[in-house]
Amino acid sequence: MVKTSHNPTSSTTHTGAGGETHQTAGGDTPVMTTQQGVAVSDDQNTLRAGAGGPALMEDFHFREKIFHFDHERIPERVVHARGYGAHGYFELTDSLSDVCKADIFGNVGERTPAFVRFSTVAGNKGSADVVRDVRGFAVKLYTKQGNWDLVGNNIPVFFIQDAIKFPDFVHAAKQEPDRDFPQAQTAHDNFWDFVSLSPEATHMVCWAMSDRAIPRSFRFMEGFGVHTFRLINDEGHSTYVKFHWKPKLGLQSVVWNEALKINGADPDFHRRDLWQAINSGNFPEWELGVQLFDDDFADSFDFDILDPTKLIPEELVPVRRVGRLVLDRMPDNFFAETEQVAFCTQNVVPGIDFTNDPLLQGRNFSYLDTQTKRLGGPNFTHIPINAPKCPFHNFQQDGHMAMHNPKGRANYEPNSWSQPTGGPRESVNGYRSYPDTISGQKVRQRSESFADHYSQARQFFISQTPVEQTHIRDAFVFELSKVETPAIRARMISHLLHVDQGLAEGVAKGLGLSPLPAPAQAARPVVEGLQPSPALSILKNGPDSFAGRKLGIVVTNGVDAALLAALRNAAEDAGATVELIAPTVSGVRDSAGHDLIAQQKINGGPSVLYDAVALLPTVEGANVLRHEATMRDFISDAFAHAKFIAHNDAAEIVLAAAGLHPKARDRGVIAIHSAQDAASFIQTCAALRLWEREGHVHAV
């Protein structure tokens, strides 16, 4: 820009290459920002592919500005409708200032306010928590430079490669339109018809059929940014990045039979878990990890880094832990905050930029329309949960439910009014997109580098333990068994033949399909030599203690006070919580004469609500409980779901009533008599499940 004559305002005036007027903030002139508080570097020109080229969809400043103008005259989310959120903070532990100029990554120890919303994708607002589904993991960070929304999932890849297919994918996954069911599940013809005709979905479908899709808790699942983004440093150098959230308490999921029963016993299971953890002071925590790589790696990698159906194995590019996310406060009001929070992938701050990932580019366009439709107009950023916590100024005005309008005479720029009337101006430190070189014809065409649809699906499957592989096979069988059209089932198996022969044969056998169909035609040959990635397995990345888990203890009147206290203390010392399950919710009196309040009643507190269970009845109490059907279910479910079971001698009566005679038990059914036994049992529970039992008890 060339400087022109001095303007009577306190800002500096420049002339751009096209002769347009630019006024830059200075002195007492406020900096112009977007509604998210991000400083604007150029308010005269849209972002385009070359000076004479077409405008680019990713120009979030233009989109926001024109969109707000279009709505100046004066509903449940389509997806991710069922969500739950919490406040917290992000604390930087390792500076990224060498690769990123964003303030949030500059000062070690600095805390940035955050709000996180977890969600399911397919279900409506009133659906259950523990359904087989992808989980949204959306983080709003209120940085000093404006709001940054990292809007991701608990799975690092997605079903589609181009955002133009998003309406089709969602329509296929939701209820079938003529009957409006099934709710909150994909076990129906439309979904499997779509994905079986979309080979690009094969990788994600394998993740969705894994235990990643039925997490035990929000606190025990990973989060991913999904896309490849750019980090920009002070010198303008770009580094590619993929974002990861790693749970401090390790990974954990449930089994399918257990998930079905949890939804019956407590459809708010995940919500209740987060609420209880935060309100008891056991604040959930994740580490932010980044995979950083350059163009040389991108060029040498077997797959296109811009393909959202692909991941980069951590063994190739290690995840660098740079900060921690802590959730320490629940919303004051669910609707005002969790329901009205509006996430947009376009909300980034200086130092963080987009790539040409076609799914990300489309998301940048879509989210603003979605939030405005839901929240009534262009002023949803005025709602406190969405407003930045740094100063923000612009000339956007009016519209539905406007809370902030420009003060004074000026509602446009450039203008010649002095301050404060003149209002905000551009900033030399405002957001600038990375000047990536773009050339080529305007075409509707997908990159050939996106054409390998099976290799990473195969890598994911072989990275799982045998237990997890069995769960994936059984999930495919369950889902496809609900498909009424045989041709769709066969078509899906034709894709699985490229993933793993044993998987395809196992699914076909479970469906009674014979002979096997021919393999689907692959756009590119499957890469057979990809090595397993242990980071992709839940069981290989589980916890090393029982911390954060829940122990359910069945008690009756006269329960051994010393043994109960020892077990409770051992669990709480390990960081677990304890609930008592009794014949009545009013509780019991222990052997020392103390009255104990129960948290659950026998027929209202099934074992699916706990990570491990203990049976401490008296002989008299056990003789009553052995006639209780829900007590027998409590034991048989815990055993079938491979959980650890502690018991005293009197519990032999109820164990036998549930069919667990001594010869039917294994090393996961543990007798305890002393404080030492109790401590040993809790140590054993760190493994969470005795998976070897599944080979004998098939309940998934």
Query: Tens digits of per-residue pLDDT, 620-667?
Result: 999 999 999 999 999 999 999 999 999 999 999 999 999 999 999 999
The secondary structure of 228-258 as a DSSP string is -EEEE-TT--EEEEEEEEEETT---B--HHH
The secondary structure of 460-527 as a DSSP string is HHHTS-HHHHHHHHHHHHHHHHT---HHHHHHHHHHHHHH-HHHHHHHHHHHT--SPPPPPPPSS---
Is 367 marked as binding a ligand?
A: yes
Q: What is the pLDDT of residue 700?
A: 46
Residue 431 CB contacts under 8 Å (≥ 6 apart), including other chains:
34, 38, 39, 40, 41, 61, 348, 349, 350
Mean pLDDT of 593-604: 96
Residue 54 has pLDDT above 90, yes or no: no
Task: List the catalytic residue out of 22, 61, 68, 80.
Answer: 80
User: What's the rounded Cα separation, in Å, for the pair 645 and 203?
Assistant: 37
Per-residue pLDDT reduced to its tens digit, 666-688: 999 999 999 999 999 999 999 99
Residue 5 has pLDDT above 60, yes or no: no
Average pLDDT, the chain: 94
User: What's the rounded Cα separation, in Å, for the pair 98 and 64?
Assistant: 31
Evaluate the CA torsion angle 422, 428, 433, 435 in order and state its sign. positive
> CA 570 from chain center: how many Å?
32
Known catalytic residue at 386: no
Task: List the catalytic residue out of 147, 153, 154, 386.
Answer: 153
Among residues 536, 400, 377, the alpha carbon closest in space to that of 468 is found at 536
Q: What is the CA radius of gyration of the chain?
A: 28
Angle in degrees, CA 698, 699, 700, rounded to 5: 105
Q: What is the pLDDT of residue 7?
A: 46
Fold observed for domain 83-163+220-382: Catalase HpII,  Chain A, domain 1 (2.40.180)
Residue where the block lists tokens 């709505």: 71
Per-residue pLDDT reduced to its tens digit, 605-630: 999 999 999 999 999 999 999 999 99
Per-residue pLDDT reduced to its tens digit, 487-527: 999 999 999 999 999 999 999 999 999 999 999 999 999 99
Is 216 marked as binding a ligand?
A: no
Q: Which amino acid is at 449?
A: S
User: What's the rounded Cα separation, in Å, for the pair 186 and 207?
Assistant: 14
Widest Cα–Cα separation across the chain: 97
Q: Which two tokens stand for residue 238?
A: 């770009």
The superfamily (CATH) of domain 550-697 is Class I glutamine amidotransferase (GATase) domain (3.40.50.880)
Q: What is the pLDDT of residue 15?
A: 86
Q: Do domains 83-163+220-382 and 550-697 have the same CATH topology?
A: no
Domain boundaries, the chain: 83-163+220-382, 550-697
Per-residue pLDDT reduced to its tens digit, 524-561: 999 989 999 999 999 999 999 999 999 999 999 999 99
Backbone angles phi, psi at 505, to 5 degrees: -65, -40
Is 363 marked as binding a ligand?
A: yes
Of 25-29, 255-259, 579-583, least confident by mean pLDDT is 25-29
CB atoms within 10 A of CB 295: 11
CB atoms within 10 A of CB 683: 13
Whether a cis peptide bond, with omega within 30° of 0, leads into 215 is no
User: pTM of this prediction?
Assistant: 0.92
Mean pLDDT of 257-275: 98
User: What's the rounded Cα separation, in Å, for the pair 104 and 349?
Assistant: 9
> Helix, strand, or coil here: 386?
coil
Is 117 marked as binding a ligand?
A: yes
Mean pLDDT of 597-602: 96
User: What's the rounded Cα separation, in Å, for the pair 341 and 387?
Assistant: 10
The share of the chain scoring above pLDDT 90, in percent, equals 87
Known catalytic residue at 263: no
